[in-house]
Structure 1
Amino acid sequence: MSSRPGPDLPLRTGTSAPSSPAALPRRPTPAEVTAAAGRTIPDLVGPGLRVLFSGINPSLYSAATGHHFARPGNRFWPALHRSGFTDSRLHPSEQWSLPEAGLGITNVVARATARADELSPAELVAGGEILAALVDRWRPRFLAVLGVTAYRTAFARPKAAMGRQPDRIADVPVWVLPNPSGLNAHYTVDTLAAAFAELREAADAGSRPSGTAVDRPGC
């Protein structure tokens, strides 16, 4: 498994080790969630990724469980399924299966906080530099940043909008998706899934010969 590097490590490397999906883990207690402030979660990365998804930073709940997008109410996993990226809706504890499907997860900033707005602009810029190095190492087909405001700050793109970006990071195409947090009331699971599906179609098209038809995902 990889982890966010310390001062002497410029890259987060490796892939996530499997955890058994047979039994779902218990929910952390409120005290355990509070104690997770500042923790990190190992990245899910590896060669041959279709898409590397980057959240803004882990929630305290995710850091307490060790699973990405684990906070109840987060719409990442249902949107991932409804958009056609996965055949079934995965529980966060089943994240280990994503690299085999050509999908990875990381964050712009590694440390967990209660809210993303606790991050300073300087942290986001520094995290963007580390993320760019990670992308340069693993060369995913697309980098997908889940949060347009964080993307604008981390990569000095103040006018960036949702969707495919005109610029690249480490020569890799970039797609900005909505933040799937339950706190983002501007999007529902269905509208998130539609945004994810546009990326899926672009990522899948890159693996097929020119002129091959693209199937619409079901919801």
Structure 2
Amino acid sequence: MTADLSVYLVTDSGAAARAGHDIVEVVRAAAAGVTAVQIREKDATARGFLDTVRRVSAALPREVAVIVNDRVDVFLAARASGARVDGVHVGQSDLPPAAVRALIGPDAVLGLSASTPEQLAAAAASGVVDYVGIGALHTTATKRDAPPALGHAAFARLVAISALPAVAIGGVTAADLPVLRRSGAAGAAVVSAICAADDPGRAARELRAAWDAA
């Protein structure tokens, strides 16, 4: 399966709650502008994560891809329950991509976080990864183990050598999107720009407009 990753929301229930929002309502509003949603629940129980995946999936139109962060078991359980889930995104310390692909099947989207030339080369050589998430673009507080900030110039150099479509992540705002698109990025992943926004729907539309205008 291929997915449009151009405006890619990664959820943060904590940031949404601090802004006075329920994460499912954030996602429903953001559907006005985003093309994919990755459900990331680092502190949730497996059952709680599964419940969030099912509710988020039900809130999104079919054209918005639903990606599960890290937890292949939650992806499989959601799919077995009848929820629409399109793929999994894993990090360098999670299950190896080949093992993930064997579990999720050939048609699901598989993304992998990468931040070095060596990691990009390994992702491409695996033959099973569909896209890479390169970051952190800027310093970010939404991911405790985020690598050091790359900045636009270093991101562009990594995109240029990546054999796979690349999505930027890490402190990304609407102002970054034109630069990222011109550098060859397949998309931009945002967390706080939508989850912590006063009006998540408007924020998503502004991101969409910024990408489309680049």
TM-score by length of 1: 0.33
Give the strand-richer structure, 1 or 2. 2
Give the helix-richer structure, 1 or 2. 2
TM-score by length of 2: 0.34
